[in-house]
Structure 1
């Protein structure tokens, strides 16, 4: 197998569902993946390399409302040699993702960009494309993930057209789920989503502000009632929310922010957050506040809070 190159195609819906079942849950949304799947992707690459395959690229297929990726999905797409493919979402189910996978299988087969395909999916609709890939001379590997009862949900129709297959055990999959979500603790039924993170930071700020001289803002006037200190705290909280959402990918994001921080304006050196991260920061701050922070002075205070928290990570404990 020396000298062989591979592309890994990952159906996130299938993987997430099987990981959830590996820890005794039934639905993907009940279980968060550590780092939104970045460590899992890295482990799959290592698994392929252990089979003497040099991974050229990994494709991660997921769904999002209106096909607009969220912060976590964009973090996956920023990982080196990972391509994010986004279909739509309807009633919590992916739509159009199978067509994206089919398109890439055909393109990789026709272009002969790789010698091997590693595919993680339970969708039997891939049968024709995987068969065609084999006819184009590619070696096709079908991988599955076992649930707690050692069922892999691999389609028998797909098994007929691939060259080989393997099933990754449930204990392997469970390592990508936070420990609090691998037991039967009812409190772990709440998924770690950006919404719950925002609610947590928001309630924390409100309770903190009620202990100070100024009153906590009401839900009806959050955007205008925050004081300077509160808005700085919002910026700090938004920083922490982004760190949690990016997971392990934050280190590379942090490095990019740090390396493009300074610019000269009229002879003065100032700090500037790269545009796409500034947008995510402000979107998160808006969610925490519960309103749009349109005034520039408010947004400056949020950025100041972000930088204070950003700098603290470099300071000795």
Structure 2
């Protein structure tokens, strides 16, 4: 047994993991807090939510050692969304993606949760597991994990009424706990309309909302999407055709604003084609990008330029400007 498995007093630390069914967590919390039934109707501060869940687990199992958090979500064709790409680099967090079909239904997520729980138990990687889920399909995996000596703690989200977890899942748990509305509230926010997003960009006053109104993602998602009608290879080929041509100065030190801006536009164009308009719509209203996405944008721009932008803050701004010019043009948002 590794020295890492003992605390300073020589006591064996019981290693645990957290397995979180994001579809259940988000849907239950959104219904409880916002009366929302679609993920397009709200935003989640997932980074801080995960951090707080980890802190809660440490309080629940004070003598334990966290192995990692498994974050089970879904994405269309398993292409990560903006939010999922932001979560993926977090320490001790493993993002697992199932498929999201055309009707918004998750496929393969439950199977991944069951497999990971069973494998972790079978290989003695954990002694405790916190399972945040509600589906009865989890019961066989819970029973198998328990047969290997793992204690399974089932967490659920406070239901607005009745119950939102399968009765058998609750029965099989070693312990249960409830995440309350007060716990979830800081991390869930109802998003505005397309008109509000555009108004925010141009600085115009926002008219009082008249519910019900569609969210930006739902408005954009209903419009024709090139990514849906072509294969990934075709999308990349079309993006390749849009790559700007340019010639840098001989000494390679001067960066032309028009050139750099065009590179930002090209990256935006490629992302729209390959990642889909709906995912790019999640970046609106802008103009600030999540740190992880901003870094990806700059890295791709540097690859296209063959030139580091580390010492050129002005050029980095030009790249971002070009990116937003293309995105705003895609969604008919005037600046």
Q: TM-score, normalised by structure 1?
A: 0.63
1:16 equivalent among 22, 26, 29: 26
TM-superposed CA distance for 1:244, in Å, is: 6.8
1:40–1:289 distance in 2 versus 1, CA, 3 Å: same
Of 168-177 and 96-105, the range deviating more from structure 2: 168-177
Identify if the C-alpha distance between structure 1 residues 17 and 193 changes in structure 2 by more than 3 Å, giving closer, same or farther. Answer: same
Q: Distance in 2 between matches of 1:168 and 1:188?
A: 28
Structure 2: runs of 5+ lacking an equivalent: 1-10, 193-208, 224-241, 244-256, 269-279, 313-319
Residues in 2 aligned to 1:269 and 1:255: alpha-carbon distance in whole angstroms: 13
Partner residue of 1:49 out of 58, 65, 70: 58
SS in 1 for 2:159: coil
User: In 1, are the aligned partners of 2:127 and 2:151 still within 8 Å (CA)?
Assistant: yes
Instruction: Determine the structure 1 residue equivalent to 2:126.
Output: 114
Shift in CA distance, 105/272, structure 1 to aligned 2, threshold 3 Å = farther
Q: Which residue pairs with 1:105 in the alignment?
A: 117
Residues 54, 148 of structure 1: CA spacing in aligned structure 2 closer, same or farther, 3 A cutoff?
same
Alignment partner of 1:114: what SS? coil
Corresponding residue for residue 16 of structure 2: 6
- Structure 1 unmatched runs, 5+: 200-222, 274-279, 292-317
Query: How big is the shift at 1:290?
Result: 3.5
Q: Does 1:145 align with 2:138?
A: no
Q: 1:197-231 CA distances to partner (integer Å, 9 max, x unpaired)?
A: 9x9xxxxxxxxxxxxxxxxxxxxxxx89xx95995
When normalised by structure 2's length, the TM-score is 0.60
Taking a change above 3 Å as real, the CA distance of residues 229 and 33 of structure 1, as seen in their structure-2 partners, is: same
Distance in 1, Cα, partners of 2:35 & 2:68: 30
CA contact under 8 A between 1:76 and 1:249: conserved in structure 2?
no
Deviations 1:75-111 (A, max 9, x none): 2222111111111112011111111111101111111
Matching of residue 84 in structure 1 with residue 134 in structure 2: no
Cα offsets for 1:272-310 (capped at 9, x unmatched) = 99xxxxxx999987554449xxxxxxxxxxxxxxxxxxx
Describe how 1:239-254 pairs up with structure 2 within 5 A: 250-251=290-291
Q: Say yes or no: does 1:161 pair with 2:172.
A: yes
Per-residue deviation, 1:191: 3.8
How big is each residue's C-alpha offset from its partner over 1:213-268, in whole Å with a ceiling of 9 and x where there is no partner?
A: xxxxxxxxxx89xx959957976xx6x9887799x9944666798999989x99x8
Aligned to 2:70: 59
Whether contact under 8 Å (1:76, 1:84) holds in the other structure is yes
Q: C-alpha distance in 1, partners of 2:188/2:150?
A: 33
- Assess, with a 3 A threshold, how the Cα gap between structure 1 residues 270 and 65 changes in structure 2: closer, same or farther: closer
Deviates more, 1:51-60 or 1:99-108: 51-60
RMSD: 4.6
Contact 1:127–1:161 under 8 Å retained in 2: yes
What's 1:40 paired with?
Answer: 49
- Is the counterpart of residue 175 in structure 1 residue 170 in structure 2? no
Residue 38 of structure 1 deviates from its aligned partner by: 1.9
**CA shift in 2, pair 1:170/1:189, >3 Å:** farther
- Paired with 1:154 and 1:135, the residues of 2 have a C-alpha distance of 22
Partner of 1:72: 83
Specify whether residues 142 and 271 from structure 1 end up closer, same or farther in structure 2 by C-alpha distance, changes over 3 A only. Answer: same
Residue deviations 1:34-80 (CA, integer Å, cap 9, x gap): 33x22211111010011213322111111111222222212222211
